Amino acid sequence: MSKIIASENLADLRRIHDRLQSFNLLKTGKNTSPCVYENPHGAKAFLLAGGNGEGGGIVYYFYTVPETGKREVFIELLFLEESVRGTGGGALLVDAVKEAAVKEGAEAVEVTTASYQAPGFYLKRGFSIVEETPSPVPNFPENKRYRLRMKLV
């Protein structure tokens, strides 16, 4: 049984970030994910822990206030270990962010992703594509970058 654990500890992020870097490099032939080991935005995270206490995934997010003046959440990073993909763990992490966002008065959640990552996952979770741009990378020249958004209120 997986459980969700809230965290503001950057060590938790560091443990998963390198795996995401490896995944992106394997898929694209290019290092596509900047180092986010610093926390300039006051970001928070939820961890997905398996029954054995091992980390299975992480979602790292922060609050923004765009030009509209309305508080929103931006998902900076979501990564699942291969062993927990397809088990509902990603949905648990996104749902935890949505719940926290509503409690904090946020009106929407945004995320960016690429063709080789998980646009279909976010669409299934209720996000809509608000922007799509070509973003060719060495191993995947047809890659597109997506900005997705979900209104909460």
Q: What is the pLDDT of residues 104-141, one digit of tens each?
A: 999 999 999 999 888 999 999 999 999 999 988 777 88
pLDDT more than 70, % of the chain: 78
Report domain extents, the chain.
Answer: 3-151
Query: What pTM, to 2 d.p., does this model score?
Result: 0.81
The top-scoring range by mean pLDDT among 27-36, 64-73, 103-112 is 103-112
Residue range 3-151 forms a domain whose CATH class is alpha beta
Q: How far apart are CA 130 and CA 147, in angstroms?
A: 6
Q: What is the pLDDT of residue 94?
A: 95
- CA–CA–CA angle 29, 10, 17 (5° rounding): 15
Alpha-carbon span 137 to 32, nearest angstrom? 9
pLDDT tens for each residue of 82-111: 888 888 999 999 999 999 999 999 999 999
